[in-house]
A and B are shown apart, each in its own frame.
Chain A
Amino acid sequence: MFLHIGVFGSLVVVLDFDRTPDIAMPLAINATLVTENAVVIPPKAEDPPKVAELPPEPDKSKQERLAAEQQKRAADARVERERLQKIERAKTEAEAEKRRKLAEAEAEKKRLAEAEKKRLADIERQRLKNERLRKEAETAARQQELDKEVQRVAAMTASAKSAYIFAIQQKISRNWVRTANAALGLECTIKVQQQPGGEVTNVSFGACNGDATIQRSIESAVYKASPLPAPRDPSVFDRNLTLLFKPEE
């Protein structure tokens, strides 16, 4: 029984340890992804300068040229602005992404910690369960031992009681003076009251086929036998005894 619980417990623990590498795997994959994203971003930020290298328009008039120049400056400024804005945006986005990744990593770390905590909790729960099962099995075994002990004690008490009654009957019998009219089939139930020291305080008769003379002889035998013998096992002492008086011959 214990062996079984032990084997079962160790199986559970082994299974838990087997699961650990599965949980660790996703962490490695995520880390690779973070690196790839970071590489993709820079080329996007270098696109705008290519726009600025377009060939200039032919000269028409100063006005037109000026206007055109102004327009071009304005356009350049816009492009530049847009470029800066784009860079800025890319930077912000990259930062956001970085923050997001960080948060994600943080979350993953947290999730792993949670998982680890759960795993430990599971192991602990299993341990407690095993402990409980073991204790229950122990209690059951102890109870069984106890039951057996109770049976044994009951058997011994029965024997101790028999020995006690035997000793009392014998002492009464030793003190009995057979009356002339005591017949062969004499059989009397006597009820004896005694004090803890064995002193007889009362004698009465149950079923008895002897006459008054015989009953008196038995009664006097009981008083002569006082104090009655003490039992070897004090737990079988009884103040009120019912004894059978049945002499032979």
Chain B
Amino acid sequence: MRTHICKLFLLTVLLSNAAYAELVIQISEGIKRRPIAVVPFGWKGTAAAPLDIAKVISDDLNRSGRFAPLPVSDMLQKPTNGSDVDFDDWSVLGMEAVVVGTVTQTGENAYTVQFQLFDVYGRDQLVGYKMPASRGTMRRVAHRTADMIYEKLTGIKGVFDTKVAYVTTQPRGNGKLFSLYVADQDGENEIVIMESKDPIMSPAWSPDSRRLAYVSFEGNKSSIFIQTLRTGNRVQVSNKEGINGAPAFSPDGRQLVVTLGGVDGNLDIHVLDINTRQTRRLTTHRAIDTEGSWSPDGSYIYFTSDRSGGPQIYRVAAAGGTPERITFEGSYNARPRLSPDGTRLAMVHLNRGNYQIAVIDMVDAKRRDLLILSGGQQDESPSFAPNSDTLIYATRATKNGVLETVTADGLIRQQLASGRGDVREPVWSPFQAF
């Protein structure tokens, strides 16, 4: 396992208008970016500060599309302590909130990060914390701080301290090199989990975010592996005859839903017990049944089936039963993923010849309103952030896949442009234990 120096170059683009072929939204209320000042943190220690924490926080808030951080050069004062904050100065600059803080070195590799968030209008502190950190955890502490600020100001849980796994394809000699990566959600700390000249597909996070399941075609045959991130240790859990594909963890982390082809090649949904390796077949239709994923409560498995002619989303009770069709709008709906709060179902939807990311509102079973979130031609692999508010997916820019994020209401969309080849199949991690 090695860390790549090459970073994801992050392009923050607010795209609510441009990408829609048919529509320009003009909404008077709009999504207003809230002005916020993240003052450079004070530093008490030897040598230089290990990390510009304020910059990490500021970049996080900016990337969310909901905040417009004030450039440091425009600040009239740079307090590092709450008692030094002059609210009039920030009020003049039109700031709604101010973040100040200090990093104090307490040992060779021990620091204390302290921050305070102030409401400029109310002239009071909204949240303030002191957290221990080391050089290794400093960046996570910064993301955690951004999460707390974000949640306090928007009422939505922040996902800055989360990770994303994805697969890249790059030319290598006469063939290709497939790599499975895990990176912080801002593209930093990118780590190769697995590399192969044969395709790697369908990464899936375990609920504790410590393991990844994926499909590897090494030896020209598909099989499913579970790899522990910390140790790099991997275990082959399914190597049956025919296709072994599309794994997804059950909410309790003990089972995988997988697609198995068997000898006759009839793809069906199976549940695999990770400990015993025993499988239980859930669908038997001669059509293709694939891309299974669990409902957050573990009671249903949603999957794609072409039993009605074209691909549509169905669900079947995890205990077994008769599949029930979920999608009816459009001729192509595939790769279902329920939001962690269970209120939205994301999928790839064919819209006027373009494969785009859409969500169905699952709250009102009679309505099931569909909303298209992306604007590309070949968008794929929607995956919800653990806060259910944002999704990540892959889209095609020229011939390479790049990653985009979009809020589940479709209002804020951003592109994460990558320096490396073709990026595909992004999956957002669950919330991380600290």
Contact = CB atoms under 8 A, between A and B. Distances in A.
A and B: interacting chains: yes
Nearest to B30: A162
A162 B31 contact: yes
Name the prevailing secondary structure of the A interface residues.
Answer: helix
Nearest to A230: B367
Interface string A118-161: 00000000000000000000000000100110011001101101
Contacts of A248: 20-24
Name the prevailing secondary structure of the B interface residues.
Answer: loop
Contacts of B124: 144
Contact of B410 (A161, A170, A227): A170
B27 interface: yes
A208 B367 CA distance: 31
A174 B372 CA distance: 10
A244 B25 CA distance: 7
A163 B372 contact: no
A170 B411 contact: no
A165 interface: yes
A12 to B, nearest CB: 28
A87 interface: no
A162 B411 contact: yes
B26 A167 contact: no
A246 to B, nearest CB: 5
A170 B24 contact: no
A64 to B, nearest CB: 115
A223 interface: no
A169 B16 CA distance: 13
A165 B31 CA distance: 12
A226 interface: no
Contacts of B22: 173-174, 176, 247-249
B155 A156 contact: yes
A166 B22 CA distance: 12
A249 B20 CA distance: 10
B364 A246 contact: no
Contacts of A166: 16, 25, 27, 409-411
B317 interface: no
Nearest to B27: A162
A163 B360 CA distance: 14
Given A152-B155, A167-B369, A170-B371, A161 B122 contact: no
B122 A244 contact: no
A229 interface: yes
A173 B23 contact: yes
A247 B361 contact: no
B351 interface: yes
B29 interface: yes
A110 interface: no
Contact residue range for chain B? 20 to 34
Nearest to A244: B26
Nearest to B371: A167
B351 A174 contact: yes
B172 interface: no
A151 B23 CA distance: 30
B127 interface: no
A232 interface: yes
A246 B26 contact: yes
A169 B369 contact: no
A232 B359 CA distance: 13
A171 B371 CA distance: 8
Interface in A199-249: 227, 229-230, 232, 244, 246-249
B411 A159 contact: yes
Interface string B18-58: 00111111110111101000000000000000000000000
Nearest to A229: B369
B363 A232 contact: yes
Contacts of A230: 361, 364, 367, 369
B195 interface: no
A49 B410 CA distance: 123
Contacts of A171: 369-370
B27 A165 contact: yes
Contact of A148 (B16, B30, B119): B119
A245 to B, nearest CB: 8
Contact of B25 (A148, A155, A165): A165
Contacts of A148: 119, 122
B151 to A, nearest CB: 12
- Looking at B23, B26, B31, B410, the one whose CB has the most chain A CB atoms below 10 A away is B23
- Looking at B22, B122, B367, B370, the one whose CB has the most chain A CB atoms below 10 A away is B22
B24 A246 contact: yes
A162 B29 contact: yes
A131 B352 CA distance: 68
Contacts of A162: 25, 27, 29-31, 409, 411
Nearest to B119: A148
B297 to A, nearest CB: 20
Nearest to A153: B155
A155 B34 CA distance: 10
A107 B9 CA distance: 93
Contacts of B23: 169-170, 173, 246-248
A229 B29 CA distance: 19
Contact of B372 (A147, A170, A227): A170
Contacts of A249: 21-22
12 contacts: A148-B119, A155-B34, A159-B29, A163-B410, A163-B411, A171-B369, A174-B351, A174-B352, A174-B372, A229-B367, A229-B371, A248-B22
Interface of A: 144, 147-148, 151-152, 155-156, 158-159, 161-163, 165-167, 169-171, 173-174, 176, 198, 227, 229-230, 232, 244, 246-249
Closest 10 CB pairs of A and B: A163-B409, A229-B369, A158-B29, A173-B22, A173-B23, A246-B24, A162-B27, A244-B26, A247-B22, A165-B27
Given A144-B124, A147-B122, 12 more contacts: A155-B32, A155-B34, A162-B29, A162-B409, A167-B369, A167-B410, A173-B23, A246-B23, A248-B20, A248-B23, A248-B24, A249-B21
Interface of B: 16, 20-27, 29-32, 34, 119, 121-122, 124, 155, 351-352, 361, 363-364, 367, 369-372, 409-411
